[in-house]
Structure formats: structure tokens, C-alpha cells
Structure 1
Amino acid sequence: MARRRANNSQKENVMRTKYAVFMVFLAMLGIMSVGCVEQSADKYRVFENSKVLIEDLQARMPQLSVKELQTKLENEEEFTLIDVRTLKEFNSGSIPGAVHISRGLLEFQVEKEFPERTEEIVIYCQKDGRGLLAVEALMRIGYQNVKNLEGGWTAWKDDSFKDAVDGIHHHSDDGGGC
């Protein structure tokens, strides 16, 4: 009988140990899944519409004013200026020295043409939308010094520096609009 109690006691200890290990496993699984949900929610935040998305990017992405860009150009600072509008928009007028890479091809072409990820890059589009999306995309693929031209081409040509604009007498109301 004493032997049976010892066997039962050993079985109970084994069962308790298995139960404890199982509970620890469940707790860790729960902690890991919460972390994945939080990470996934941050990584793939859903916005009500494109306007709200752009407003969020305006608050988070680095930007450069037209006056700051003009100063950089006047001082002949080294940086790359990329116009992400359509080719038709670009051909209607562009900021002097700009390189054209349309928004849809940017991530694929920029690595070939500008492999140095610490180089300063200024992006612009018609207004802000495509430029901000482009800045975010470049930052996601490792570019560290990228800024959006606040207000884009519209702000540039409407500013007092409009005499410096190529093709200023042309208007580009078609394409993107953002």
C-alpha cells in the first residue's frame, strides 16, 4: 500500500509538472500573439480614405519648403531632386535640375540610379500626395535623407521664384492631381 501511494504521488508530481509547463507555454503563446497583433496593426494601419492617409504622412514625413529648396539651389548644394509626376506633367514644366522618375516606377529605378542611401533626396509631385507616398516608400527601402517639397510643383510655380521655373507658361491640369 505504501508503494501504491508513492507511485500515485510520483504520478501526481509528473502531472503537476506537465500542467505547469503547459500553462507556461500557453502564457508565452498569448504574449507572443499579442505582440504580433500590435506589430501587424502598426505596420498595416488602415485609413478612412486617401485624404486622411496624406494628412498622416504630412505630419510624419520630413518636408522642405519652397524657400528652403530655392536656397539649396542658389547655394548649389549637392542633393538629388526627383519629380515623381507623370512624364506629360514633367514635360509641361519642372524645377531646374530635376530628374524625372514617375511615382509608379520610383522604387524600382531609384536603387539603380541613386544607390547611395545616405544621399540627400528631395521629392516633389503636383501638390503633395504622390510626393509624400514616394518619401515614405524610399524610407521603407532604406533611404535615410529624403524630404518632400511642401506643396509640390503647384507651390513652386505659385511662389515668388516662378521666374526660375522651366516652362512656366504651361499648365498641367491633367494627371495625378496630387
Structure 2
Amino acid sequence: MTMPEFKQLVDEIKKEITEVSSDELERMRQAREDFVLIDVREKDDSAQGMIPGAAALPRGILELHIDQITTDKNKKIVCYCGGGSRSSLAAYMLQRMGFKNVMSLAGGYRGWKAKSGE
């Protein structure tokens, strides 16, 4: 059995999760919707800039420490990374853990930054 390449794996996972656009994320933020925004990048990346209001929880420890952010399985959660791949994996794993309202930011931090100009 051949293991899928990373891009193939991400493409398959994206069929199983919900992605949110930068525009939709901004609408949610402006409307002050009740949701958790999680930056799943490594600390070095997060230190160079984060979306305001995000909690930093690197992908490598997300499953171990998500309870420090929320234990509410119905809470709306938006994960983001640099470009959208790691956050897709993060959203998928959180769904597997029973979280019901998890999304990944399409285009990640780079896409959001290009769109928002921040």
C-alpha cells in the first residue's frame, strides 16, 4: 500500500472539512461572532505576526492542548497556518476528536494578510 504524498493527503482532507475565506473570517470578526481562532503555525512563524485575537497552538501539540483553548465540542473554531495545508489537517483532526464546527482558513495567514493589508 502506497502512502499518499502530502499534497494528495491535504487535497483528500479538504473534501472532509469546511474552509472559510479571508472575507468570511473578517465578516465574522467584524460581527463579533462567538468563535475561537487558532494559529497552528510553529512559534517562530507566529512570532512574526498573527491575526488579531488568535490563540497560538502549534499543530504538533494541538490535540494534546486543545482543552486549554476550549472543551466545548460545539464551539465554532477556525484554524489557520501559513497557507492552509496544516490548518486543514488540524481542522480534520479536531473533527475526529468530536468538535463539530471546525473550519480552516483558505490561503492561511499569507492569504489573510494579502487581503487585509495588515
TM-score range, shorter chain: over 0.9
Determine whether 1:86 maps to 2:42: yes
Whichever structure has more helix as a proportion of its residues is 1
Q: Does the C-alpha gap of structure 1 residues 122 and 46 become closer, same or farther in structure 2, counting only changes over 3 Å?
A: farther
> Which residue does the alignment assign to 1:121?
77
Q: Cα distance, 1:162 vs. partner?
A: 1.7
Q: Cα distance, 1:154 vs. partner?
A: 1.1
2:112 match: secondary structure: helix
Give the residue type in structure 2 aligned to 1:60.
E
Aligned length: 118
Q: Does 1 or 2 have the higher relative contact order (CA < 8 Å, sep 6+)? A: 2
> Which residue does the alignment assign to 2:102?
146
Give the residue type in structure 2 aligned to 1:153.
Y
Q: Does the C-alpha gap of structure 1 residues 46 and 146 become closer, same or farther in structure 2, counting only changes over 3 Å?
A: farther
**Aligned partners of 1:146 and 1:133: how far apart in 2?**
11
**Following superposition of structure 1 onto structure 2, how do residues 1-178 of structure 1 map, counting pairs within 5 Å?**
47-159=3-115, 161-163=116-118
Q: Cα distance, 1:46 vs. partner?
A: 6.0
Tell me the TM-score normalised to structure 1 length. 0.63
Q: Percent identity?
A: 32
**Aligned partners of 1:69 and 1:117: how far apart in 2?**
20
Runs of 4+ in 1 over 2 A off after TM superposition: 45-48
Q: Which runs of 5+ in 1 are unaligned?
A: 1-44, 164-178
Q: Cα distance, 1:111 vs. partner?
A: 2.1
Give the residue type in structure 1 aligned to 2:16.
R
Q: Indicate the larger mover: 82-91 or 106-115.
A: 106-115
**Aligned partners of 1:105 and 1:98: how far apart in 2?**
16
In angstroms, what is the RMSD of aligned CA positions? 1.4
**Aligned partners of 2:58 and 2:94: how far apart in 1?**
13
Give the residue type in structure 1 aligned to 2:82.
Q
Give the residue type in structure 2 aligned to 1:103.
R
Whichever structure has more strand as a proportion of its residues is 2
Q: Which runs of 5+ in 2 are unaligned?
A: none
**Aligned partners of 1:46 and 1:145: how far apart in 2?**
32
Q: Cα distance, 1:77 vs. partner?
A: 0.9
Tell me the TM-score normalised to structure 2 length. 0.94
Q: Cα distance, 1:132 vs. partner?
A: 0.6
Native 8 Å contact 2:22 2:111 kept in 1 = yes
Q: Cα distance, 1:113 vs. partner?
A: 2.8
